[in-house]
Chain A
Amino acid sequence: MKEESLIWVDLAHVDEGPGPDCMSFGFDLDPLILSIRRCGLINNPLVARNEQGRVDVIAGYRRILALKTLGWGRVQCRDLSALLPSPLERLLFNLHDNLPTRTFNDVEKGMILGRLASLVPREALLNEHMPLLGLPSHEPLLRVYLQVEGMEEPVKRALAEGRIPMRTVRALLDLDLDSVKTLGRWLTDIIFNFNQQSQFIEYVRDISVRENREISELMSDEGLAGILRDPKVKGPHKAKHVLERLRQRRYPRLCRSQEAFQEKVKRLNLPEGVMVRFDPYFEDPHYHLDISFREGKALREKIVRLSQLEGLGKLGDPWPEDS
């Protein structure tokens, strides 16, 4: 029977990356470093030799990184080369070692599916492994996950930390690499909420197609880049400014209609507590009047004042003059 053995591994010979069998990304190493410093290494990492004779980590990648940080030169590991001869067995060993104890983030799910993709048939990925990771068995979604690992580091970090959802990543993936890099930078530099992220990507893509300009070139326009650099505009305000600027550019006539209507209403000088509501897209043909009041007497006064307002009879669609 094949058995595992204990071997000493020189940490300088172990890669910093997770290698072919591990799937950790975006984790906080500090608690593990503290634990090892206080209690020592409780469980030995598991390793196996690859075809080149080098040692790959099968389980314990974070422990190896922590030990390196602590300055350990070598560590005793359990060598599973004989027990797990094939790459698939090693990968599945790690997967099932992790599955019961922790939740994978989306980058890790992408790493797992990406590694499995070269080792198992597509159907197995869809029907066995995606459900195992809590994902629906869905080909387009699989294609998205398979591209995650190749994305830029800051975008992956934002995804792993939940600052960017998968739907944002999905919206980026059919763009060229340069555009993904540009948008990735904006998405990590500016605090957009999830809906704003989608809106941002859609505006930029639409404008880029319509103006036939590369996204990187478009986003370096002074008007936009200036907002990014402006130290006086902070946090979510920056996101709002960027989106408003893009909206004006994407929907110039709609924006003009909205401004023109609001200007018309403003010029009416409505009594306090009276407000005109309108569909921002003007598809609803009706405008609505809100009057807030505490007593009928106040309501009567407001209605009388309204009926005497000059210009009320001309309030209506803000086109054609403003379209």
Chain B
Amino acid sequence: MTKISLIKRALVEEAAEGSALASRILERIKGVPVFRVTARDREQEPVLQDMGKETLRLVSFPGRFLKPCPGTRGYICCGYQILNVGTNCPLDCSYCILQAYFNQPSLRVFVNLDHEIAPVLNQIDQNPDRVFRIGTGEFTDSLALDPIVGWSGMLTGPFSTRRNAVLEFKTKTDRVEGLLASKGRDRIIVSWSLNSPFIASREEHGAPSIRKRLEAAKRCQAEGFALGFHFDPLIEHPGWREEYQKTLELLDRYIDPGGIIWMSLGCFRFMPALKSIIRRRHPGSLVLDGEFVPALDGKMRYHKPIRIDMYGFMSEKLCQWHEDLGLYLCMEAGEVWQGGLGWTPETTEGLSRYLDQRVIRFFGPL
């Protein structure tokens, strides 16, 4: 994966100058050339044909930091909230949706987070009867840049003291030092995106192996963190059952299932525009090989019986391992839940309730 030393330059936008977080980051990447970017520079920037993963861009984000996950129409979603700390990611997974956002290249870190976290916490405090399941890993990897940004150090404290919120760090990396050094444990969930070892090595460019991810997870579990796992995207590939079984065996070897708050499954789906980008950026990729059909939300998804088959296989194996893993499907149809998992929460509200209950069971009442 991209090491800090592979960040070749840093850009500091005008509005980000003087921010305490920006100063701390620049201190941590001393030696990397730093350039100031004015609004005029931004207008004149050429549209890059790649994602600028070697450029760190410090930005003052003008929008809302906490937003509900947009979910998708026509399918059951989980009612998650996204804490928007940055965009793009130093990893280069062939299937990543972020590839479609070429108009926002480079690794963007929102350095006004340390100021803007206050209204977020205030919103949580104003709604004491509501469970906020919050994560930072939707538009970036939660931990890939943690050694230079220090998100874990900034966020674990405030979240671990709030009864009605959990914060999930979702990652494919093994960069857990910041988390382990932080003080907060309660209501902090560290979760890993997992796949078959075959897909991990072939399609998740720059990401550590599944074994390394699980070794990091084991360290976090030993240090008292609740764990989550996300088999998302599940990708149909030759021998996929045997390949996913290998990951399940590794899970059994490294992880105590009793400490897992939830596990999600999600078959690969994508906006049609991503297909040509994947073909161009990752010509050897097999992620597009499956039988994808246009779904109700405009995305391409595996033909339904394939999804049911994959979920059915994973669910059966996972339930054999441990019967109470908080298993759920990400953005799926009720009949696919029924066919694959044998039950359905019926609606987004139903799934939200199920996951909120998991939070309460794990961390205690509100």
Query: Could you say which residues of chain A place their CB within 8 Å of the CB of B224?
Result: none
Query: Could you say which residues of chain B place their CB within 8 Å of the CB of A27?
Result: none
Q: Nearest chain-A residue to B312 (Cβ)?
A: A320
B166 to chain A, nearest CB (A): 32
Chain A 230-255 interface residues, beta-carbon cutoff 8 Å to B: 250-254
B294 on the interface (CB 8 Å rule)?
Answer: yes
Q: Is the CB of A319 within 8 A of B304?
A: yes
CA–CA, A15 and B293, complex, Å: 52
B309 on the interface (CB 8 Å rule)?
Answer: yes
Q: Is the CB of B301 within 8 A of A139?
A: no
Q: Nearest chain-B residue to A174 (Cβ)?
A: B280
Query: Could you say which residues of chain A place their CB within 8 Å of the CB of B47?
Result: 139
Q: Nearest chain-A residue to B295 (Cβ)?
A: A283
Q: A174-B279, A254-B293 are in contact. Are A282 and B304 (CB under 8 A)?
A: yes
Q: Is the CB of A323 within 8 A of B309?
A: yes
A209 on the interface (CB 8 Å rule)?
Answer: yes
Select which of A251, A284, A320 is within 8 A of B303 by beta carbon: A251
Q: Is the CB of A281 within 8 A of B294?
A: yes
B310 to chain A, nearest CB (A): 12
Select which of B289, B308, B334 is within 8 A of A285 by beta carbon: B334
B223 on the interface (CB 8 Å rule)?
Answer: no
A interface residues, tally (CB under 8 Å):
21
> Apart from A139-B47, A209-B288, A283-B301, what 20 extra A-B contacts exist at CB < 8 Å?
A139-B49, A206-B288, A209-B289, A210-B289, A250-B291, A251-B293, A252-B291, A253-B291, A253-B303, A254-B303, A257-B305, A281-B295, A281-B303, A283-B74, A283-B295, A283-B304, A285-B334, A317-B304, A319-B304, A319-B305
Query: Could you say which residues of chain A place their CB within 8 Å of the CB of B74?
Result: 283
What 0/1 pattern do residues 251 to 265 of A give for CB contact below 8 A with B?
111100100000000
B34 on the interface (CB 8 Å rule)?
Answer: no
Chain B 244-298 interface residues, beta-carbon cutoff 8 Å to A: 279-280, 286, 288-289, 291, 293-296
CA–CA, A164 and B296, complex, Å: 31
Query: Could you say which residues of chain B place their CB within 8 Å of the CB of A250?
Result: 291
Query: Could you say which residues of chain B place their CB within 8 Å of the CB of A319?
Result: 304-305, 308
12 sample A-B contacts, Cβ–Cβ < 8 Å, listed by A number? A139-B47, A139-B49, A209-B288, A251-B303, A254-B291, A254-B303, A257-B303, A281-B294, A283-B301, A285-B333, A285-B334, A319-B304
Chain B 302-334 interface residues, beta-carbon cutoff 8 Å to A: 303-306, 308-309, 333-334
Q: A174-B280, A283-B295 are in contact. Are A253 and B306 (CB under 8 A)?
A: yes
Q: Is the CB of A285 within 8 A of B303?
A: no
Query: Could you say which residues of chain A place their CB within 8 Å of the CB of B296?
Result: 283-284
B335 on the interface (CB 8 Å rule)?
Answer: yes
Query: Could you say which residues of chain A place their CB within 8 Å of the CB of B49?
Result: 139
Q: How many A-B residue pairs have CB under 8 A?
A: 58
B247 to chain A, nearest CB (A): 24
3 shortest interchain CB distances as A-B pairs: A323-B305, A281-B293, A319-B305
Q: Nearest chain-A residue to B333 (Cβ)?
A: A285
Q: A206-B288, A209-B288, A209-B289 are in contact. Are A283 and B308 (CB under 8 A)?
A: no
Q: A257-B305, A319-B308, A323-B309 are in contact. Are A283 and B293 (CB under 8 A)?
A: yes
B interface residues, tally (CB under 8 Å):
23
CA–CA, A257 and B309, complex, Å: 14
Query: Could you say which residues of chain B place their CB within 8 Å of the CB of A257?
Result: 303, 305
Q: Nearest chain-B residue to A280 (Cβ)?
A: B293
Query: Could you say which residues of chain B place their CB within 8 Å of the CB of A139?
Result: 47, 49
CA–CA, A251 and B292, complex, Å: 8
Q: Nearest chain-B residue to A250 (Cβ)?
A: B291
Chain B CB within 10 Å, residue with most, of A251, A281, A284, A317: A281
Query: Could you say which residues of chain A place their CB within 8 Å of the CB of B306?
Result: 253, 323
Query: Could you say which residues of chain B place their CB within 8 Å of the CB of A284?
Result: 296
Q: Nearest chain-B residue to A171 (Cβ)?
A: B276
Query: Could you say which residues of chain A place their CB within 8 Å of the CB of B304?
Result: 282-283, 317, 319
Q: Nearest chain-B residue to A202 (Cβ)?
A: B275
A288 to chain B, nearest CB (A): 15
Query: Could you say which residues of chain B place their CB within 8 Å of the CB of A252?
Result: 291
What 0/1 pattern do residues 281 to 310 of A give for CB contact below 8 A with B?
111110000000000000000000000000
B299 to chain A, nearest CB (A): 10
B4 to chain A, nearest CB (A): 32
A211 to chain B, nearest CB (A): 9
Query: Could you say which residues of chain A place their CB within 8 Å of the CB of B279?
Result: 174, 205
CA–CA, A253 and B304, complex, Å: 10
B13 to chain A, nearest CB (A): 24
Query: Could you say which residues of chain B place their CB within 8 Å of the CB of A210?
Result: 286, 289
Query: Could you say which residues of chain B place their CB within 8 Å of the CB of A285?
Result: 333-335
Query: Could you say which residues of chain B place their CB within 8 Å of the CB of A317?
Result: 304-305, 335
Chain A 190-226 interface residues, beta-carbon cutoff 8 Å to B: 205-206, 209-210
CA–CA, A257 and B304, complex, Å: 10
B54 to chain A, nearest CB (A): 21
Chain A CB within 10 Å, residue with most, of B47, B74, B305: B305
What 0/1 pattern do residues 261 to 287 of A give for CB contact below 8 A with B?
000000000000000000001111100
Query: Could you say which residues of chain A place their CB within 8 Å of the CB of B280?
Result: 174
B306 to chain A, nearest CB (A): 7
Query: Could you say which residues of chain A place their CB within 8 Å of the CB of B303?
Result: 251, 253-254, 257, 281-282, 323
Query: Could you say which residues of chain B place their CB within 8 Å of the CB of A323?
Result: 303, 305-306, 309
Q: Nearest chain-A residue to B306 (Cβ)?
A: A253
B239 to chain A, nearest CB (A): 15
Q: Nearest chain-B residue to A285 (Cβ)?
A: B335
CA–CA, A164 and B279, complex, Å: 22
A241 to chain B, nearest CB (A): 21
Chain B 180-210 interface residues, beta-carbon cutoff 8 Å to A: none
B365 to chain A, nearest CB (A): 37
